[in-house]
Structure 1
Amino acid sequence: MLTRLFTPLDIGPATIRNRIVSTGHDTVMAEDGKVTDQLVAYHRARAEGGVGLIVLQVGGVHESARYTSHALMADTDACVDGYRRLAGTAHAHGATVFAQLFHGGAEVMDTADGSLGVSYSASAVPTERFRVFPRAMPRELVREVIDGFAAAAARLRRAGLDGVEIVASHGYLPAQFLNPATNRRADEFGGSWANRLRFLREILESTREATGGALAVGVRISLGEASDRGLGEDDALRAVTELDGLGLLDYVSVTRGTSATLAGSDHIVPPMTMEPLCTTALSRRVKQAVSVPVLVAGRINQPQDAEVVLERGDADAVGMTRALICDPEMPAYARRGDLAGIRACIACNQACIGHFHSGHPISCIQRPETGRERLYGIVRPARRPRDVLVVGAGPAGLKAAIVASQRGHRVTVYDAGRRPGGQVLLAEQLPGRAEFGGAVTNLLEEARRASVPIKSGVTVDTALVREQAPDAVVLATGARPYRPELATDGATVLDAWLVIDGARLPRGRVLVADWRGDWTGVGVADLLAERGHRVVLATTGYQAGETLQQYTRDELLRRLLRHKVETVPLVRLYGADEDTVYLQHVLTDEPVLVPDAASVVLALGHEPDVQLADALQDLAPSERPELHLAGDCLSPRTVEEAVLEGMRVGHAL
C-alpha cells in the first residue's frame, strides 16, 4: 500500500533507503556546543526505527551564529569527533545523515550567562518576535561567515556525514540577505536581486568546493514567511530556481514561516489547528521549478498521508519529524503495514517545541521515553512478576499499566467512568482540539497489544482491594474541579467540565474565570463564543493561555479575537450576583467589576482525588499493598506529567 514511501531516493552522492525524513530540529541535547551521549541515543532510536534520512539540528558555522546557550556548533575542529560518533551510530542502523549548517543573523534567543548578546544581520533592521536590534554585518564578517560555512562542511565531511543542508529558511541570515525589507546594503551584497542572492550563492559555491562532491549539498527555504515584511514566496522560488540552474543544489527542503514574527513563527511547527499537509502546495511549486529532489515538512504525521504527498508529486521525500518524536518506530510499523500500531502525533507542541522554548531537552507527552532513551529506552523484564491493580484509566494509569505489563507483571485496570481516558475526553471536545483525543486512542491500542484488561464502570474501594489482594496498587484517580469559597448571591455558577460536557448557560454575557492559563479557560471561552454567548475571559496571568506553547496559544488567541471575546488580565474571581461579577486585581487588590454578566464558568484548577489513597493508607500493614501514585491524584498538572509518571511507576514496579 505504501509503495512509494519505501522506495530508495538518490540525493546527490547519497542514497536514502526510504522517503521518510527526520528534518533538522533543535533537541536541547548539545552541551558546550558539542554532541552528547544523549543526542546520540536520541538519533539511534530513530535510525533503529527505520527512518531513511536524519537531518541533524543546526550547527553554528561561526561564533556569531551561537543563537542560544545550548546551540550545537560546527565552527571548530572540536566538533568532529562528536559528529563522527553520531553519524556512525545512525549508519550502523541503515540511516543516512545530513547536518544543517546555520547562522541565524538577527534571530538570537539567549546566551550562556543570561546577558543579551550582540547580533548581526544584513542590515540594522529590528526584529519583532525576540525584540533584537542587530548590527549590520561588516564586509569582513560577511566573508568570514561564508568561509565558516565551507569550513564547517569540510569538518562534517571528515566526520563521515553524507550531506549538509544550508539553512535559508524561517528568516535566518541567508533569508535576511535575500529579503529587501531586511537587506538595505549598498555594497556587493545588497541592492539588486543578484547582489542579494550573492550571499547564499557564495555559501553554496564555497561549500561545494570544500566538500569536493563527496557530500550532498542542499538548501532549506521557507516558500513564504507568512509575514508582510518577510521574504516573499515568489522570491524564495526564484532563488532556488536560479541556484539549481547554476548546478549548486542536490536538493531543496521546503517549509514555511519565519522566526522573526509571532504570526510567522507559528508555521515553524504547525499546531493541531492547522490543516495536515499545509505546505505541500508550496513544495509542488518548487518541484515543478527545479531539477533536483524536493523535501517537504509541515503537519505530515501519518505514513498514509506521506504516501499521498509522494503520489501527487508534491515532493520526493517527506519530513515527519514530530511523528518520529512521538514514535521512532513509525517507519518499521508502516513498512510492515501495521498502521494501527503507530503512536500518531497529535501536534500538541507541548513537550517537543515547547520544551525547546523553555530550554529543556525535547520529549513527547505521549512518549516520555523520547529524550530519555538512556534511562527508559529499554523495557527490562521484572525480576519477579507481580499482581498489579491500577485504579484509573486516564493517561497516567494506562501508561503505568502498559509498561508494567510489558515487563511481565499481571496487570488489571479499573476505572469508574463509562469510557477510559480521563480529562482527555473533555479536552477533545473543545474547538480545534479533536485531535487531542488521539492521546487516549494511542494508549488504548498500546494497552490492547500489551494484553492489559480494562474494567470500566467500577469504583474501587478498600473492599475490592482486599478481595483482589494485589501485590501493588497504582493510584491514578485523577482530580476534580476546584471550587473556592465565593459569594455568589443569585448567580449561575458552573464548573468548566460541565460546560464542556454540554451543560447550557442562560442567554447573555458569561464570565470565564481562569486561574491556570492553560487550554481549559481559553477553550471554554472559545466554546461559549461559538454557542453565541458574549464572553469575558478573566485570567490571573498577564495574558490568556499563558502556560501554553506559543504556537498553540497564538492560534487560540486568534480565535478569541475573531469571536470578540473580551480578555481581562491580572484579576482573580471574588464573587458574583445576579447581574455583576466581582473581580480583584492581583497586583493592587482593587475591585474590578464586570456588569451585565448572567453567569460564571470556573476554570480554577483541580484538586487531587486522594480519597482512596487515604483509605488504603489507613489499612493495617498486613492488608496494605505497595502503593504508587501517578498523575493528577499526586498533583494536578497536564497529560505530559501524567504519562511521564505512569511510565516511571511502570518501570519501578
Structure 2
Amino acid sequence: MSAQGLFPNLFSPFRIGPCTIPNRIVFTGHDTCLPEDGIVNDALVAYLEKRARHGTGLIVLQVSGVHESARYTSHLLMANDDACIPGYRRLVEACGQHGSVLFAQLFHPGREIMESSDGLKPVAYSASGVPQERFGVMPRGLSRARIHEIVESFAAAARRMYQAGIQGVEILASHGYLPAQFLNPQVNRRDDEYGGSFANRVRFLEEVIDAIRREVGDRMAVGLRLSCDERDEQGMGQDIAIETLHHLESRLDYASVVAGTSATLGGSVHIVPPMSYESAYLREESRSLRADLSLPLILTGRINQPHEAEEVIRSGAADLCGMTRALICDPAMPAKARRNDAEGIRACIACNQACIGHFHRGIPISCIQYPESGRELLYDDLGRAETSRRVAVIGGGPAGMKAAVVAAARGHEVTLFEAGRRLGGQANQAQLLPGRSEFGGLVTNLMEELKRADVEVATQRHVTPQTLLEEGFERVVVATGARPYTPPLELLGELPVSQAVALLDGASLPGGHVVIYDTQGDWVGVGVAELLAREGARVTLAVNGLHPGGALQSYVRDSTVARLHDLGVRVMTYARAFGVDDDSVYFYHTGGAEPMVVEGVDHLVLSCGGEPVVSPEDEDRWATLPVTLVGDCLAPRTAEEAVYDGLKAAMAL
C-alpha cells in the first residue's frame, strides 16, 4: 500500500497563497539557540536542511525580530537590516533543493522580554503600560510614531525575506506577543485609535498586514499565528480569536493556530505542552474556530504521529499539522511515514527537557532521545568505524541501549548484556508516575532501534572482565546505572523510611501522613508526591531548593505543581533533613539554619538521587579491557545525559 493510501490527506499537496506545499507536515517556528549574533549560521542551516531532506512539506523559521526593540532573547534571528538577506538565502537554497517550502516568522514580542544580551533589565514596549507577570517586566506604552515605525519594520522585514527567496511570512500574534497585546482589552488600555473597541484594537494588525502587502503583494504567502485561547483569565479567549480571524480573513492566506500565552506561568505551559496533555488536544477548538472560515488552517499542539495528523486533517480540524517536536525527535519521520514504516518512527514523548528546556537555559536545541538533533554538524552522518570490533555493552538502560545502537550502526559486532529481566533501567520507573506514561516510549523506541541494528541482547546475564576476555570482546561500554542514595540522618526512633524508587518497583504504598524529602527537584519527588496524594495519603513535600521540580523544564514543573496544589500537597522549601524520631522529621532551613519540625508523620520517603553502582575500585578491575563508563554509573544525572553519553562512547570506539 502506498503512503498516500495510509495517509491520503497528510501526503497530499496543499495550496497556500502562491505556494504549493508538497505535503501537510509543518515544522513550525521554534527557538533553537543555534543562531549567533542574530544571523543564520552553519548550525541552523544543517538543522533545517536535515528536516527538509527527509520530506517535511513546510518549514517555518524561528522568529525573526523586525525591529531593534524586538530582541526578547540573545538568541533570535534579526531581520531589521539588509545584511540578513544572504543568510536567509542560504536556508532557502539548502531546504529548497529537497522540495520543502520555507516561510519566515515576523516577530515583535512587545512586553514579552525574557532577557537582554548584557544581562540588564530591558526596556520593553507594549500597547499600554500593563505589567507582564511571568518575567516581571513593566513595559512602556507605544507612542503613535513608534507604532508606525514598528509597522513599517514588519513590511521591511517581509521585503528582505522576499529578496532572499523565502516564499511566505507569518506574523506572530500568538502567545501574548505584541499584536496580541493590542487585541487583548485587558492589556490594551489605550484611548486613541488603537484602543477601546475591537475595530481599534485590531488596527495594528490591519496596518501590519497592509504594509506587508504593499511591499510584496501577492508574491508571498502572508499568514497569522494566533492563540485560539490564551488559557488565562487575563488573556484572550476564543471569542476574540474567532472575531480576529473572520475580520482579517480577506487580508490573509492562512492562519496557524496554537494555545496559551507567554505572559503567565499557567498560560505558558501551552506554548510547548508536556506529556500530561493528550495528543492533538486542540483539535476540537480548532474545528469550532474555523466554522464559516475559508482560511487555510495549520494546527499545532502535541501532534506527534502521522496517524494523529491524518485524523486531524480528515476530520476537518485543520488543513496542515505542526509536528515540530516529532521532527526534532525524528527528522526522518516524513520519509518513514511515506514508506509505511510507522514502527520505525522515533516518537516524541513530550518531556520538554532538551528542546524548549535547552532554549530556556540559553543552549542549543536537542532531544533526549536523539541527541544528534541540534548537533548535525557533528553527528549528521555517524559513518563507519575504521576497524570493526567486538563490543560488549553492560547495562540495558537508555545509555547502554543508545551506545549499542550507534556502535552497531558504525559496523561493530555488539552484544548488550542486562542483568535484569527487561531493558529500560530507570525509564521503566519514570513511566509509572501520574502523567508520565509516555516516558516509556523512550524504551520502546530504543528497543526497536536495537532490533533494527541487529544488536544481540542477553538479559539476566552477569559478566566479568574475565568472561568478556574469554569470549573475545575487544571494547567494553559499562552502563550499569546507580543505586538510590541515602543521606546521613539521625535515626532516633522507629519511623519507617523508604526510597522513592522502591515504591515504583512494587513496594506497598504508605498511607497516613507521608513526608517526601526531595533534594533533586526532578520528576521523582513531585511524581511520588502526586502518586501518594492520589492514593489518599496526606503528603508533605519537603524540598531542598527554591520550589518543587526545580530541575524540571518550567512547563512540566508548572503543570505538575498545579496538580499538587489541587491535591492539597503541602510544600516546604529550603529544607535539609537531619533526623527522625518515632513520628517527626527534623529539618534545617538552608537559608537561615533555623530548625523546622514536621510532626505527626507516619512515613518518610527519600528522593535524594543516586550514587554510581561502579566504584573507583570496580573501575580498576576492568583495567584488562578498554572500558568506557556512561550514564549514571559514571555520574548520576538524567536520561538526556545517559543517551548522549551512549552516543559519544559509541562514536569513539
Q: Residues of 1 paired with 2:38 and 2:255: CA distance?
A: 27
Q: Tell me what 1:652 maps to.
A: 652
Q: Residues of 2 paired with 1:146 and 1:74: CA distance?
A: 14
1:45 equivalenced with 2:50 (yes/no): yes
Q: Tell me what 1:626 maps to.
A: 626
Q: Tell me what 1:545 maps to.
A: 549
Q: 1:532 pairs with 511, 532, 536, which one?
A: 536
Query: Which segment drifts farther, 146-155 or 524-533?
Result: 524-533
Structure 1 residues 616, 228: closer, same or farther in 2, change over 3 A?
Answer: closer
- Aligned residue for 2:290, secondary structure, equals helix
Whether the aligned pair in 1 keeps the contact of 2:511 and 2:532 (CA below 8 Å) is no
Whether the aligned pair in 1 keeps the contact of 2:38 and 2:76 (CA below 8 Å) is yes
Q: Residues of 2 paired with 1:551 and 1:23: CA distance?
A: 19
**Unmatched tracts of structure 1, length 5 or more:** none
Q: Tell me what 2:361 maps to.
A: 358
1:291 equivalenced with 2:290 (yes/no): no
1:167 is displaced (CA, Å) by 0.5
Q: Residues of 2 paired with 1:250 and 1:505: CA distance?
A: 56
Whether the aligned pair in 2 keeps the contact of 1:394 and 1:476 (CA below 8 Å) is yes
Whether the aligned pair in 1 keeps the contact of 2:509 and 2:532 (CA below 8 Å) is no
Q: Tell me what 1:399 maps to.
A: 402
Whether the aligned pair in 2 keeps the contact of 1:165 and 1:219 (CA below 8 Å) is yes
1:288 is displaced (CA, Å) by 2.0
Q: Tell me what 2:380 maps to.
A: 377
Q: Tell me what 1:635 maps to.
A: 635
Runs of 4+ in 1 over 6 A off after TM superposition: none
Q: Tell me what 2:573 maps to.
A: 569
Q: Residues of 1 paired with 2:292 and 2:69: CA distance?
A: 34
1:580 equivalenced with 2:592 (yes/no): no
Whether the aligned pair in 2 keeps the contact of 1:169 and 1:258 (CA below 8 Å) is yes
Count of residue correspondences? 647
- The amino acid of 1:626's aligned partner reads P
Matches within 5 A, 1:161-560: 161-244=166-249, 247-488=250-491, 489-560=493-564
TM-score calculated relative to the size of structure 1: 0.98
1:466 is displaced (CA, Å) by 2.9
1:457 is displaced (CA, Å) by 0.8
1:188 is displaced (CA, Å) by 1.4
Query: Which segment drifts farther, 575-584 or 168-177?
Result: 575-584
Q: Residues of 1 paired with 2:396 and 2:14: CA distance?
A: 44
Q: Residues of 1 paired with 2:60 and 2:116: CA distance?
A: 25
Q: Residues of 1 paired with 2:587 and 2:67: CA distance?
A: 52
Whether the aligned pair in 2 keeps the contact of 1:462 and 1:615 (CA below 8 Å) is no
1:38 is displaced (CA, Å) by 0.3
Q: Residues of 1 paired with 2:650 and 2:465: CA distance?
A: 22
Per-residue CA distance 1:552-578 (angstroms, 9 max, x = gap): 001111111111111110011111122
Q: Residues of 2 paired with 1:610 and 1:50: CA distance?
A: 44
Per-residue CA distance 1:74-102 (angstroms, 9 max, x = gap): 11101100000011100011100000000
- Aligned residue for 1:288, secondary structure, equals coil
- Aligned residue for 1:645, secondary structure, equals helix
Q: Residues of 2 paired with 1:305 and 1:481: CA distance?
A: 39
Whether the aligned pair in 2 keeps the contact of 1:427 and 1:436 (CA below 8 Å) is yes
Q: Residues of 2 paired with 1:507 and 1:11: CA distance?
A: 58
1:505 is displaced (CA, Å) by 4.7
Q: Residues of 2 paired with 1:439 and 1:507: CA distance?
A: 31
Q: Tell me what 2:3 maps to.
A: none
1:506 is displaced (CA, Å) by 4.8
1:625 is displaced (CA, Å) by 1.4
Q: Residues of 2 paired with 1:452 and 1:465: CA distance?
A: 16
1:503 is displaced (CA, Å) by 1.3
- The amino acid of 2:503's aligned partner reads V
Query: Which segment drifts farther, 586-595 or 262-271?
Result: 586-595
Q: Tell me what 1:87 maps to.
A: 92
Whether the aligned pair in 2 keeps the contact of 1:475 and 1:627 (CA below 8 Å) is yes
- Aligned residue for 2:487, secondary structure, equals coil
1:233 is displaced (CA, Å) by 1.0
**Unmatched tracts of structure 2, length 5 or more:** 1-5
